[in-house]
Amino acid sequence: MSRSARLRLKSSRMTTRMTATCSASAGMV
């Protein structure tokens, strides 16, 4: 459970970060 939760959190954070970066890039262009 702990491993899954940690992996999920990490994946979610990475996805959110990537999405935010993409959005920022799109907004700048």
For the chain, what percent of residues have pLDDT higher than 90?
A: 0
Q: What is the pLDDT of residues 6-26, one digit of tens each?
A: 888 888 888 888 888 888 888
pLDDT at residue 29, as a whole number: 65
Q: What is the pTM of this model?
A: 0.48
Q: Which pair of tokens denotes residue 24?
A: 């920022």
User: Please, what's the b/e burial string for 1-29 (b: 16 or more CB within 10 A of its CB; e: otherwise)?
Assistant: eeeeeeeeeeeeeeeeeeeeeeeeeeeee
Mean pLDDT of all residues belonging to the chain: 83
**DSSP, res 7:** H
